[in-house]
């Protein structure tokens, strides 16, 4: 079977499906190819299921607090019972609902779906291995959105009791003992969730601290939570092997140790999906192991675009979606480019972390003189009423003109402020703009306004 189209999208993750929907809305004859379910890693086996698991773990941990003497004047005579099979079924139901929603949106935009694995013969033609046989597709424009996958260590291959994040989100029982190799955001999010569900959790991290891409001030409250909940973190430790329920590792002095575990979760990063679909036949340039693109997401081959994780850091779903929308509009003849002032990153740990833009130390390295304002959540009324006093909001601005160049925060539920933070940087806001915006009381968002006031030297509530 042969098919032709104006725009061919390979991969139906948050980058690919957004690109296809927008292309369809703009009247472009569009085909999207996906080997699995639409939604990609983020929706099917990453962002969404992990947040569902985190929410369920939070609920279980919160209810457990009320057992015995109780908490907040609320007590339970018995500890809550966890039926993990039903928890995972609830999580799967959310994934199914969103998967169906994306499928409907593609149909609404008149995007043709071809299910199967695509292999390119040249830059504009691929053969898709479908359940009904091979389908050859030739397109005028190609958008590559094949995403990324978990990095596998050769001495800790995935399978059996050695899990990637995908398998960790599909367990049927909470492991009694869980060891996590890697204390980055994926490992910490899942490790903390399983600790709340009752697992004994240990981290083995090669770096000298957790969440090494964030500054110590941001990660300190997370470390405090780990200590409070009896989670051991071995820093400067390198895993060396797995043998019948036991992980071996070397500490920073080179001494060998072992840790018993029912399950081993390996979260040492992600790498782009560049193999097995004929990239070598497309004459597309690479840059540091990723597909090289310009500020319009164009590759070195004319009318071939690449978006999302295959184009490098930051590997974030919202970056991929933004790129996908822009590329579709460029193909339709609109003038667009991908040049955000900053992209917010969030860790859904306990407490949560937001980072958008530069910190003062990063700005100093670029020769920028700054002023910084920080406001503690313990001084925010709404935060205290939600037992969310741990953490702060920190704002960094240029000293000369007060233009905000970075906003960082840590605290329970703080991720919901990430949009406001990103908007401030995207619009080139100054401290006085935030000061002059009346924030609703009582909300945690008031902490953002107070941090701006602190930078200006006259915070009200501290």
Known catalytic residues are 441
In sequence order, what are the residues at sequence separation of 6 or more whose Cβ sits closer than 8 angstroms to the Cβ of residue 354? Answer: 344, 345, 346, 407, 408, 409, 410, 414, 415, 417, 418, 421
Question: What ranges make up the beta strands (E) of 183-269?
Answer: 200-205, 232-235, 238-242, 246-250, 256-260, 263-266
Cα dist from 335 to 17, 137, 207, 329, whole Å: 21, 27, 43, 8
279/277 Cα distance (integer angstroms)? 6
Nearest partner of 10 among 298, 325, 305, 332, judged by Cα? 305
199/230 Cα distance (integer angstroms)? 11
193/444 Cα distance (integer angstroms)? 24
Tell me how many degrees the CA angle 372-378-380 measures, rounded to the nearest 5: 80
DSSP SS3 for 274: coil
411/390 Cα distance (integer angstroms)? 6
On whether the CB atoms of residues 100 and 65 are closer than 8 A, the answer is no
DSSP SS3 for 266: strand
In sequence order, what are the residues at sequence separation of 6 or more whose Cβ sits closer than 8 angstroms to the Cβ of residue 408? Answer: 215, 218, 353, 354, 355, 356, 359, 393, 394, 396
342 preceded by a cis bond (ω within 30 of 0): no
56/90 Cα distance (integer angstroms)? 9
309/205 Cα distance (integer angstroms)? 24
DSSP state of 79: P
Q: Residue 221 — φ and ψ, nearest 5°? A: -65, -30
In sequence order, what are the residues at sequence separation of 6 or more whose Cβ sits closer than 8 angstroms to the Cβ of residue 17? Answer: 9, 32, 38, 39, 40, 102, 105, 106, 324
214 preceded by a cis bond (ω within 30 of 0): no
């Amino acid at each position: 079977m042969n098919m032709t189209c104006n725009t061919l999208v390979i991969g139906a993750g948050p980058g690919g499906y957004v690109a296809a929907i927008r292309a369809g809305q703009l009247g472009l004859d569009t085909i999207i190819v996906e080997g699995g379910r639409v939604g990609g890693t983020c929706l099917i086996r990453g962002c969404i299921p992990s947040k569902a698991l985190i929410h369920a773990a939070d609920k279980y941990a919160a209810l457990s607090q009320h057992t015995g003497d109780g908490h907040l004047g609320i007590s339970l005579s018995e500890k809550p019972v966890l039926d993990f099979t039903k928890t995972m079924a609830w999580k799967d139901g959310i994934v199914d609902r969103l998967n169906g929603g994306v499928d409907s949106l593609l149909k609404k935009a008149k995007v043709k779906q071809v299910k199967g694995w695509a292999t390119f013969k040249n830059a504009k033609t691929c053969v898709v291995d479908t359940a009904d046989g091979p389908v050859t597709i030739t397109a005028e424009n190609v958008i590559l959105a094949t995403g990324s996958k978990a990095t596998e260590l050769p001495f800790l291959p995935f399978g059996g009791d050695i899990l990637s994040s995908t398998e960790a989100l599909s367990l049927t029982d909470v492991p009694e003992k869980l060891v996590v190799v890697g204390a980055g955001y994926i490992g910490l999010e899942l490790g903390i969730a399983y600790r709340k569900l009752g697992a004994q959790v240990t981290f083995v991290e090669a770096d000298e601290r957790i969440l090494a891409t964030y500054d110590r001030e941001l990660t300190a409250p997370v470390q405090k939570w780990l200590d409070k909940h009896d989670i051991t973190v071995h820093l400067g430790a390198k895993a060396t092997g797995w043998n019948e329920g036991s992980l071996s590792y070397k500490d920073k002095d080179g001494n060998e140790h072992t840790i018993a575990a029912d399950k081993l979760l390996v979260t040492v990063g992600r790498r782009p999906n560049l193999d097995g679909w004929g990239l070598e036949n497309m004459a597309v340039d690479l840059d540091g192991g990723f597909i090289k693109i310009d500020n319009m997401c164009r590759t070195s081959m004319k009318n071939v675009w690449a978006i999302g994780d295959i184009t490098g850091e930051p590997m974030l779903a919202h970056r991929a979606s933004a790129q996908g929308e822009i590329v579709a509009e460029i193909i339709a003849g609109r003038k667009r480019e991908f040049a955000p002032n900053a992209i917010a990153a969030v860790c859904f740990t306990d407490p949560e972390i937001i980072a958008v833009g530069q910190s003062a130390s990063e700005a100093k390295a670029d020769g920028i003189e700054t002023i910084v304002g920080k406001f503690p959540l313990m001084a925010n009324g709404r935060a205290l009423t939600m037992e969310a006093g741990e953490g702060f909001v920190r704002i960094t601005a240029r000293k000369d003109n007060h233009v905000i160049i970075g906003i960082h925060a840590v605290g329970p539920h703080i991720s919901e402020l990430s949009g406001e933070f990103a908007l401030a940087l995207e619009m080139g806001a100054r401290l006085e703009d935030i000061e002059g915006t009346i924030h609703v009381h009582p909300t945690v968002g008031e902490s953002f306004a107070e941090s701006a006031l602190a930078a200006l030297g006259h915070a009200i509530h501290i």
